[in-house]
Amino acid sequence: MSLQGRSVVITGAGTGIGRAIAERALKEGALVTAVGRRRAALEELATDGPAQAVPEDEAAPGAADRIVRAAVERFGALHGVVNNAGLARFGRLEEADLEEFDRMLAVNVRAPAELIRCALPHLRAVGGAVVNVSSVGGVLSMPGRSCYGASKAALNSLTRSLARELAPEVRVNAVLPGPVDTPMWQELGLTPEGTRDLRENLLSATPMGRFGTGEEIARWVCQLLDPDLAGWITGALVPVDGGRTT
């Protein structure tokens, strides 16, 4: 129960990797403020006890402030922020919809920055931690996925710079997943054949020969939140990727 009594905001907690992080954090005793746009998905967590659902579009004006206030009002403090919510739209640059690129930057970069900023006074007060769920796409060259990769590279840069800027009071790290089976794979903006080809290519580029699971990502996120395990780790970009970046 290494996160016992620690209040943690988790974005994108209703599905996929975020759901696995929320379930893992609850198992470890955390008090979870679960954020996403769809209330029903969030309420599948134990929202009558150690978890609360806060349905918000985190890119909307004022959302970060409302999320932080909800966490502090319900649980009395804020020890951790997990910026997991993300948007992935793939495609070659000539065909890319630049409004979708703006949306990716808003959800994958600006919203995490704003949430960290709003949470800072509370995180500073308790020696808290931030974990950003980025992607191996932020460190690899990714033809056909350049806009998404650029948004995750920006999140990596934010992580490393803020680690120095906010030390020693607040630690800031990122986990970089390789391919994980989640609902994201149905919403990439590719044709079914394009999605199938991409999955096959990624499998052959992954030395461990399989996709990861949300739980495999969640364990590392929770370890980085835990001051007993990770109290001397900040600015780390931790690949959890089946060897994809080797």
Ligand X SMILES: NC(=O)c1ccc[n+]([C@@H]2O[C@H](COP(=O)([O-])OP(=O)(O)OC[C@H]3O[C@@H](n4cnc5c(N)ncnc54)[C@H](OP(=O)(O)O)[C@@H]3O)[C@@H](O)[C@H]2O)c1
Site track 137-166 with ligand X (rule: CB under 6 A), x = hit: ------------------------------
Q: Applying CB under 6 A, does 18 fall inside the site for ligand X?
A: yes
Site for ligand X in 168-227 (CB under 6 A): 177, 179-180, 182-184
Residue 239 is a catalytic residue: no
- Among 12, 80, 91, 128, the residue binding ligand X under the rule CB under 6 A is 12
Judged by beta carbon, residue 7 or residue 134, the one nearer ligand X is: 134
d(CA 11, CA 39) in angstroms, rounded, equals: 12
d(CA 189, CA 58) in angstroms, rounded, equals: 21
Neighbours of 168 (CB within 10 A): 8
Nearest to 175 by CA among 233, 88, 92, 95: 233
Q: Give yes or no for a cis peptide into 168 (omega within 30° of 0).
A: yes
- Among 7, 33, 84, 146, the residue binding ligand X under the rule CB under 6 A is 84
Specify the DSSP element, H or E, that contains 230: helix 227-230
- Among 8, 9, 10, 17, the residue binding ligand X under the rule CB under 6 A is 17
d(CA 72, CA 62) in angstroms, rounded, equals: 16
Site track 85-124 with ligand X (rule: CB under 6 A), x = hit: xxxx------------------x-----------------
- The active-site residue, picked from 90, 148, 211, 220, is 148
d(CA 63, CA 87) in angstroms, rounded, equals: 17
Judged by beta carbon, residue 226 or residue 241, the one nearer ligand X is: 241
Amino acid at 172: V
Site track 19-58 with ligand X (rule: CB under 6 A), x = hit: ----------------xxxx--x---------------xx
9 burial (CB, 10 Å; 0-12 / 13-18 / 19+) is buried
Stretch that binds ligand X, among 14-22, 73-81, 89-97, 228-236 (CB under 6 A): 14-22
DSSP strand E in the chain: where?
Answer: 7-11, 31-36, 51-55, 80-83, 129-133, 171-177, 237-240
Binding residues vs ligand X (CB under 6 A): 11-12, 14-18, 35-38, 41, 57-59, 84-88, 107, 133, 135, 177, 179-180, 182-184
